[in-house]
Amino acid sequence: MGFQLERVLEECGALTQGHFLLSSGKHSDRYIEKFHLLRKPAVLEQVCRAMIERMNASSIDVVAGPTTGGILIAAEIARQMGVRAAYAERADDGSLQRAFRRVNYFEPEDRVLVVDDIMTTGGSVRETIKALEKHPVELAAVMVMVDRSNGAIDLGTPYSALAEMDVPAWDPRECPLCAEKTPLIKPGTTNVGVG
């Protein structure tokens, strides 16, 4: 039996049950509050070790991740692999694009592994890949902790996930929990699933 990420997420309070308002405006009965995992370095270390074991990446020079959760995963994976880490932040021009700011993270021909925490639409990973295009590096692989896209994401490059989770999302007019009058929780505004 391999690494059981869903069990780990439940044990640290990151995978919760309820009636949640997602950032997309849709509703769901399950929510992954990644910060319950990311705030526990020993658990994060185990998850990142499992991600490294799962991926088919070799000869990596840099592990890159987008803010916010992706940078913690990138730092831990880079530490375990003994390579450099890079962080794709929002550009300081006011746009929603990402950029590798602050320091020169890359050397010519570096092989870069892009990592992130939870992929729902693929937006953060796409923005990180786009930011890499401004540097003379090679995208070696993409790895996410949880893919909840149900295989619907095309990044233009192969990627792998430590776990795939089918987390339903309903339009509010079709939400069975609304029909049952279950109280709606907007994550980030309520102390959800403290663990």
3-state SS assignment for residue 139: strand
CATH of domain 5-179: 3.40.50.2020
Q: Which two tokens stand for residue 153?
A: 């994401």
Pairing type for strands 138-147 and 159-164 reads parallel
Tens place of pLDDT for every residue, the chain, 195 residues?
467 999 999 999 999 999 999 877 889 999 999 999 999 999 999 999 999 999 876 799 999 999 989 999 999 999 999 999 999 998 877 777 999 988 899 999 999 999 999 988 888 999 999 999 999 999 999 999 999 887 788 898 889 999 998 888 899 999 999 999 999 999 876 444 333
What residue segments make up the domains of the chain, in order of their start?
5-179
Give the whole-angstrom CA distance, residue 41 versus residue 82.
17
